Amino acid sequence: MNKLKKEYLFFKQQAPNMQTLLMTNMLYALVLPVVEIFVGAYIMRNTSDPVMVAFYQLAMYIGIVVTSLVNGFLLKKYSIKTLYSVGILVSGISMFGMMAIRSLGFIELGLAGFFMGAASGFFWTNRYLLALYNTNDDNRNYFFGLESFFFSITSIGVPLIIGAFISQIDGKEILGFLFDVNASYRVVTIVVVFITILACMVLWKGKFEKPKETNFLYFRFNILWRKMLWLAALKGMVQGFLVTAPAILVLKLVGNEGALGLIQGVSGALTAILVYVLGRIARPQDRLKIFVGGLLIFVVGTLCNGILFSAMGVILFVLCKVIFQPLFDLAYFPIMMKTIDAVAKIENRNEYAYILSHEFGLFFGRAFGLLLFIFLAYCVSQDFALKYALIIVAGLQLLAYPLAKNITNQTNAVEHESNE
């Protein structure tokens, strides 16, 4: 109890805006596993086609880059927390809209994916901007460590609860209404919308500054930022798969959402503790060690899936994925934000210019990963794509470490020069 009290007091020592942002993200962490995991499972269950899941995801990523661009113009007129709230709310409402669709064809999935992406575009770009303005390089490990702790904890509880709920309620009659799997998903979506409203209420307690410089559209950048965009593209390749691959593989090789929830939940337990401890004690100079550790775990997971391609292979892959993702993000986001701090001073530009171009870097990586999967699925087979597309992407990820090391060294050199 004394240890918990000490951690709580440390949290209360942080700036009020940082506390508000963390509490908002903690609530949204209850929503994110639903958006990332069970939407893919819903599409897979209703279409039995992994390519349809990939197509939905591609439409979602297009929606992200479009609204990231629109968000830049809206920041000139509206506050950051207004636009951030829009992203939080629309993500819940978009899920509800998709659950209401009776037929999941390419057009319906494309529209649903685009609108879900639109919500994500408002959410993630404003989240990055708020984190950038309300943290510094000394406390970003703690910020992202605590945030990753929240996301890991919810990756334990939310999939377990939802998976058990969907498995248990299917085929049962309650108050005269016969529940099937799709009706269960709609109940989950209503809960999601309620949580997004609560998250917005917490966010509005914060007093956040607007960007000082309103111009944000630039096409030429310092070479340091161009390297960061290549790193973003490599990260995007992984994201293109990690959102949907677990759901597809579990439903194909393991069986049901209950299993999906159990696997995600169990593997998230140790990770939650690990990322919080690392975020609390790790120094900025430890980021590359965390970064390469996460990469190696991901490579091992993809090899297990590709070689075994069985229920055991999927379990090992998901275990590695749940450990890899928060470790990777714990190192990646502070590196990205420190690079923005450095390059924004060199070029004297609005920080949102870098956040927007970063989204395009992520998009090109995501699109490459998903198109690779679709190409292999159509030209060879779906099983071949599920086995080897992940291994190809994981192999390419190994390039991220020397690139991240170069960026970190160059950023430190720029910071050292500016302090002299």
Paired with 329 in beta bridges are none
Query: In the predicted model, what is the mean pLDDT of residues 88-99?
Result: 75
Structure tokens at 7: 């951690």
Query: In the predicted model, what is the mean pLDDT of residues 61-80?
Result: 90
Q: Tell me the pLDDT tens digit for each residue of 11-57.
A: 888 889 999 999 998 888 888 777 666 676 677 777 777 778 778 88
How high is the pLDDT of residue 36? 65
Rounded to whole angstroms, the Cα distance separating 303 from 373 reads 16
How high is the pLDDT of residue 166? 75
171: left (phi over 0), alpha (psi -120 to 50) or beta: left
Q: Tell me the pLDDT tens digit for each residue of 312-350.
A: 888 888 888 878 888 888 889 999 999 999 998 888 888
How high is the pLDDT of residue 357? 94
Q: Tell me the pLDDT tens digit for each residue of 264-280.
A: 666 667 677 778 888 88
Q: Which domains does the chain have, with CATH numbers?
A: 12-415 (1.20.1250.20)
* 3-state SS assignment for residue 173: strand
Asked if residues 240 and 368 have their Cβ atoms less than 8 Å apart, the reply is yes
How high is the pLDDT of residue 110? 84
Q: Tell me the pLDDT tens digit for each residue of 355-412.
A: 999 999 999 998 888 888 888 888 888 888 888 888 988 888 889 999 999 999 999 8
Q: Tell me the pLDDT tens digit for each residue of 189-205.
A: 888 888 999 999 999 98
